[in-house]
Amino acid sequence: MDTVVWVNDRLVGTDEGTLSALDHGITVGDGAFETCTVVGGSVFALTRHLRRLRRSLQGLGLDLTVGDEARCIKGVHTVADAVGAIDGRLRITVTSGVGPLGSGRQPGGRYTVVVAAQASEMAPEGSAVRSPWVRNERSAVVGLKTTSYAENVVALADAVARGGDEALLGNTRGELCEGTGSNVFVEVGGELLTPPLDSGCLAGITRALLLEWGGQNGLPVREAVLPFTVLDAVTAGDAHLLVTSSGRNVQPVTWLDGATIAAGPLSLAARALFDRLHRQHVDP
């Protein structure tokens, strides 16, 4: 099955010209997006994704009106119907629409809405490298899922060139923060610990659900401030690692910076718990 794409109210071909060359999302990355998991054709956690999309746009100074949100939902349903009963991912992108060539905005424009879905598979395990770059926890767009993802593109390409499939970043204070497209948990001392949001990480939906579902199901999982050097304990075999995202669910990391590492027992339990519950709750 090919990728199904919907732009501003209609299904379009993947290589059909549909966006203005002056769309501010293209010229300066002035937009926000969400990537949702699709489970058997159902879009998982759509309410949470739409809430975060609204928050990201608000952080950019853009208001997602009721009408804009209705357009997003219409696009989601149209694409989900067209793509069928797949396991995969569905992306919603909203930009500020046509704008000037520079960073300033043209007021009163119509937002661009793009929804696209495709089948994809999730690997049960991940491999990561420590990134030489950092997340700026004091950035103007910290915690927003904006379409300005070039930093993540560069860091991920570096990770792939070094044999990994995710790069792990610290922040400017030297604390562990997140991956280029995932949150991170360290299994240490009989607990699963994840950096708090003030580390500069995205408020991941998979992260939040693992904290909630873990807490409700006896899994010792919580937020904690972790130094980036905690990854030394992982390579030394004294701690374990997992990453979470809508594209990965809960994924134990079994390779870090060239060294094979063991998946921890709590990490494996977290993966099993999430695998089970995300199939039982479509919109938790």
Ligand X SMILES: Cc1ncc(COP(=O)(O)O)c(C=O)c1O
The residue within the footprint of ligand X, chosen from 205, 234, 250, 256 (CB under 6 A), is 205
Q: Which of 131, 182, 194, 251 binds ligand X (CB under 6 A)?
A: 182
Smallest gap from residue 172 Cβ to ligand X (A): 16
Q: Which of 93, 68, 119 is CA-nearest to residue 7?
A: 93
The span of 99-107, 117-125, 154-162, 242-250 binding ligand X (CB under 6 A) equals 242-250
DSSP string for residues in 162-203: TT-SEEEEEETTSBEEEESS-EEEEEETTEEEE--GGGT---
| Interface mask toward ligand X for 184-203; x: CB under 6 A | -----------------xx-
- 91 lies in the site for ligand X, by CB under 6 A: no
Q: What is the largest CA-CA distance in the chain?
A: 56
The Cα–Cα gap between 74 and 43 comes to 13
Does position 207 interact with ligand X (CB under 6 A)? The reply is yes
106 to 135, contacts with ligand X by CB under 6 A? none
Q: Rank residues 6 and 185 by Cβ distance to ligand X and give the closer one.
A: 185
- At position 128, the amino acid (one-letter code) is A
Question: Are 187 and 250 a contacting pair, CB within 8 Å?
Answer: no
Q: Which is nearer to ligand X, 205 or 270 (CB)?
A: 205
Site for ligand X in 13-52 (CB under 6 A): 35
Exposure of 52 by Cβ count < 10 A (0-12 exposed, 13-18 middle, 19+ buried)?
buried
Pick the closer one to ligand X by CB: 147 or 244.
Answer: 244
Check if the beta carbon of residue 4 is closer than 8 Å to that of residue 86.
no
Minimum distance between the CB of residue 204 and ligand X, rounded to whole angstroms?
3
Give the long-range contacts of residues 15-19, CB within 8 A, separation 24 or more.
Answer: 19/112, 19/114
What amino acid is encoded at 259 in this protein?
A: A
Piece of the chain touching ligand X by CB under 6 A; list 174-182, 192-200, 234-242, 269-277: 174-182
Residues of span 244-273 touching ligand X by CB under 6 A: 244-246
Q: Is 95 in the site for ligand X (CB under 6 A)?
A: no
Given the complex with ligand X, which of 244 and 251 has the nearer CB atom? 244
The residue assigned the tokens 């990561």 is 128
Q: Cβ distance 112 to 62 under 8 Å?
A: no
CB of 229 to ligand X, least distance (A): 21
Q: Which residues form the interface with ligand X (CB under 6 A)?
A: 35, 145, 178, 181-183, 201-202, 204-207, 244-246
